Amino acid sequence: MLEYDRVKGVIRGTIKSPLSGRAVKVEDDLKWATEEDLKNLQIEVYVMCGGGLLGDFATTQPADFYIDVRVGKLPYPKRDIMQAVKVLEAMAIKLGKNPHDLPRPNIVSAWIF
C-alpha cells in the first residue's frame, strides 16, 4: 500500500504491477503533479468507485475516505481504488490543497453514473 511521507514529501510503498503481477517498489516526489492532473485523477477515482456518494466522498475527501464493508460490487478492486485515493491525497498535499475538503470536479457525465 502507498503512504505519503509529509516530512520528505514523497509517496512510497509497494504496489502490484498490473502487467507482471509482481510487487513493485514506488518512491515518487510528485514534482510532475499539476492542478490539471489533480482534477483528472479526481474524475478517475470517481469512475473507479462507480460514481454516486462513494465516488463523491473519494474525490472530495481522500484523506478521510474508506470503503464500508456493506458496499456491494464495485467496478474496480477495493485495493486499486484505495491506491488511487492515496495518490490523490498525496497529490493534494503536494499542491498545497486540503485533502479533507477538495473542490468537487466538474464532471459532465451525461447521466451515465
Interval 45-55: pLDDT, tens: 999 999 889 99
Q: How far apart, in Å, are the Cα atoms of 50 and each of 46, 59, 66, 76?
A: 6, 12, 14, 8
Model pTM score: 0.87
pLDDT of residue 59: 96
Residue 107's contacts (CB-CB under 8 Å, 6 or more residues apart) are 43, 46, 113
Burial class of residue 43 in the structure, from the number of CB atoms within 10 Å of its CB (0-12 exposed, 13-18 middle, 19+ buried): middle
pLDDT tens digits for range 3-39: 888 888 898 999 888 788 899 898 888 899 999 999 9
Is the CB of residue 76 less than 8 Å from the CB of residue 48?
A: yes
pLDDT tens digits for range 72-104: 899 999 999 999 999 999 999 999 999 999 999
Domain ranges of the chain: 32-94
